Amino acid sequence: MRLIGKAGKAAAVAAIAALALTACGRADTGTTAGASGEAAGFAQDSSIGVALPKKTSENWVLAEKLFNDGLNESGFKPTVQFANNGVAEQQNQISAMIANGSKVIIVGALDGSQLGTQLQQAKDAGATIIAYDRLLLNTENVDYYVAYDNFKVGQLQGQALLDGMQAKKASGPYNIELFAGSPDDANAKVFFDGAMEVLQPKIDDGTLKVVSGQTTFEKAVTQDWKAENAQRRMDNLLTGSYSSETLDGVLSPNDTLARAVITSVKSAGKSIPVITGQDSELESVKSILAGEQYSTINKDTRKLVEHAITMVKDLQSGKTPEINDDKSYDNGSKVVPAYLLEPVIVTAENVKTAYTDDPVLGPLTK
């Protein structure tokens, strides 16, 4: 959750000061002095923990392999684990990573607000904590955040929805429905808020009509990012609100849910609305090529993992990792120093050029 869009300057300054302190603290605790007397971070063959959430989309599955390969190649000893059975499993995994002496723990949280105790223990043990893709909430014990700019993802989705509907029908009103991700995922609200920043003014001026009246995040959520939950909700929305109305557009937060909505609409015998997505999943890129799903977001997982590993290498050699944002992501306890990557919107217009350096999607979209 991007709790505050623009934190005050004082907070940003405090964050940088805190960062400097953290760096000093680290040098005092888990570090050894290099030959030159310069602080070296930690041994090159150290254990590194990577705690991932559930396999709710392809990007997480790819991240597992990339972390294992990349960390091994750099000489570290990685432990990369999913928490498919829930929060308690992820808590236990992080505790085990602390116990095995992990110097850095990278966390893609299942529920970013439920790891406070483990993160405190990790800090006490001298580990550095990097929030990966999803922010860790309400804790001081997170050193860095590396992610695609999630608020921007939402804004791109909202704008794509408008553009797509306008291209089909020059003027409104347009009938739309809104879907959000899983409420325990800290990103879900950020995506939704980003999209609503674009869509809300158009709802207010009557250009957009949410026929079901379900406009809040709480109404729009999809528990566990599960396709069947989105499909069931869409079935109900169609029955309840679209027996005589046309559905022009659907805000979907990711590709898995976009395809579930398309399945629902097709089985109701309706035409496919303009629908957004995210993740550039293979089936959704095919769907864009086939003229069904309207858009997705390119957030190349390889680049994100690579950056997280660069941070680990910097910490290992005693360098402070580079950040490029010190104001956007307030986790409720601090503004977390972040390295944000730029998400890219993909529609039929640019699908043939968007993935040129992707080993799977590149050849498919040529």
Contact 309, 67 (CB under 8 A): yes
**Which residues does 263 contact at the CB level (< 8 Å), separation at least 6?**
231
Q: Around Cβ 127, how many Cβ atoms within 10 Å? A: 28
Does position 296 interact with ligand BGC (CB under 6 A)? The reply is no
Does position 284 interact with ligand BGC (CB under 6 A)? The reply is no
Given 22, 57, 118, 157, the residue binding ligand BGC (CB under 6 A): 57
Q: Which stretch binds ligand BGC (CB under 6 A): 42-50, 72-80, 124-132, 179-187?
A: 179-187
Cβ-based nearer residue to ligand BGC, 57 or 295: 57
Task: Return the DSSP state at 276.
Answer: -
CA distance 228 to 230: 5
Does position 225 interact with ligand BGC (CB under 6 A)? The reply is yes
Does position 276 interact with ligand BGC (CB under 6 A)? The reply is no
Contact 238, 247 (CB under 8 A): yes
Contact 155, 131 (CB under 8 A): no
Closest separation in Å from C-beta 254 to ligand BGC: 4
| Cα distances (angstroms) measured from residue 313 to each of 93, 316, 319, 361, 366 | 22, 5, 8, 29, 35
Given 187, 287, 295, 347, the residue binding ligand BGC (CB under 6 A): 187
Does position 56 interact with ligand BGC (CB under 6 A)? The reply is yes
Contact 112, 187 (CB under 8 A): no
CA distance 93 to 64: 15
Cβ-based nearer residue to ligand BGC, 175 or 254: 254
Q: Which stretch binds ligand BGC (CB under 6 A): 55-63, 162-170, 197-205, 321-329?
A: 55-63
Cβ-based nearer residue to ligand BGC, 119 or 304: 304
Q: Around Cβ 332, how many Cβ atoms within 10 Å? A: 14
Does position 278 interact with ligand BGC (CB under 6 A)? The reply is yes
Contact 272, 262 (CB under 8 A): yes
Q: Tell me if the bond preceding 321 is cis, omega within 30° of 0.
A: no
Does position 185 interact with ligand BGC (CB under 6 A)? The reply is yes
Cβ-based nearer residue to ligand BGC, 146 or 165: 146
Cβ-based nearer residue to ligand BGC, 139 or 187: 187
Where along the sequence are the contacts to ligand BGC (CB under 6 A)?
A: 56-57, 59-60, 133-134, 181, 185, 187, 225, 254, 278-279
